[in-house]
Amino acid sequence: MQTIKLGDTGAAVEDVQQRLATVDLLAKEDVTGVFDEKTAEAVRAFRAKVGLEPGGKVDDKAWSALVDASYHIGDRTLYLRMPYFHGHDVLELQQALGALGFPVGAEDGIFGAFTEDAVRKFQRNMGLPSDGIVGAYTYETIRNLAHSWQGKKALNIPMNLGFARASEVLEQNALCLFGTDDFTRGVASRMSNLGLATNPSSKILSADSLLVQPDEKMLLVHLVLPNEQATVEHVPRVSFEPDETLALRMAPAISAAYRKQRPRMIVELPGKSWEDAGESRSMQHYAITLLDALCSALEQR
């Protein structure tokens, strides 16, 4: 971006001023669209607050930090991805979850694996779909509990990361995930991103993210939709539903796949929609559930 500085005018300046006002460093009446000395002083204060080099200009680093700082809880949908979501809204979410008894580890404003696990536990506790996605329903539930968490510190509860995506499983098992249409390829890509978000050394990758051809020892996991025929016969085929027993049913299928010269298995998704959710949210739900089940099954080998 072009550096915004003293004397500049226009919409970009007004955007900066609005964000400075959001973080209580500039009065609302000083949001004029003119980068004056008051704005420069507010920028200096902000840069000092977030640990940037001194100065009264808004460069790339200052703008990125200002955007992060001006998010508030509920402003955007949050979920585990690579690169991680980060910002003041994530910090507020972490503080709310911690005060409600769902520890997130370090309250660092970064939506990582511990935060996602805390979200899922909170969702289960409140009878919501436990997909780790902080969207409208989860935000509404958190807002309804504001009296229980606002102004309160996190409860001192030991961390226990209970979900199955253990780092060693992701790092020690080489899998290639792939689909044959846009939806199944999307699920495979999201599974790969979730694995990398949890452990950057993850070897559970989508075909699209592989830099080389998969070797003969890599387990190929083919995601299909109902009635979709596989191109290779006599391959273990696991149905996604019921998802409560998915990991249990995957374990013997993985063992059978590894007995083949070229290990391969099929996972059949129930369709392109989960509980009337949109396509993107359905992809994310299937990706989370499948990755948990895969890692849990691989731990049993």
Residue 159: CB atoms within 10 A of its CB come to 12
What are 268-278's pLDDT values in tens digits? Answer: 999 988 877 78
Residue-wise pLDDT for 130-155, tens only, equals: 889 999 999 999 999 888 888 888 76
Distance (Å) of CA 202 to CA 7, 172, 209, 290: 49, 8, 12, 15
Return the pLDDT at 281.
85
Using N-to-C axis directions, what is the helix angle for 279-299 and 182-198, rounded to 10°? 60
Residue 142 parent element (H or E): helix 136-144
Tokens 């226009």 belong to residue: 10
Check if CATH label 1.10.10.1150 holds for domain 71-162: no
Torsion of CA 229, 230, 232, 233, to 10 degrees: -50
Query: Higher model confidence: residue 191 or residue 277?
Result: 191
The 10 Å Cβ neighbour count of residue 23 is 16
CA 253 → CA 204, 250, 269, distances in Å? Answer: 17, 5, 16
The domains of the chain are located at 11-70, 71-162, 167-299
Average pLDDT of 274-288? 85
In terms of Cβ atoms closer than 10 Å to its own Cβ (0-12, 13-18, 19+), residue 232 is exposed
Confidence class for position 165, pLDDT limits 50, 70, 90:
low
Q: Does the pLDDT of residue 164 top 50, yes or no?
A: no
3-state secondary structure at position 78? strand
Same CATH fold, 71-162 and 11-70?
Answer: yes
- pLDDT of amino acid 244: 83
Q: What is the fold of 11-70?
A: Muramoyl-pentapeptide Carboxypeptidase; domain 1 (1.10.101)
Strand order in the sheet with 204-206: 204-206, 175-179, 219-224, 264-268, 237-239
At residue 236, what are phi and psi to the nearest 5 degrees? -55, 130
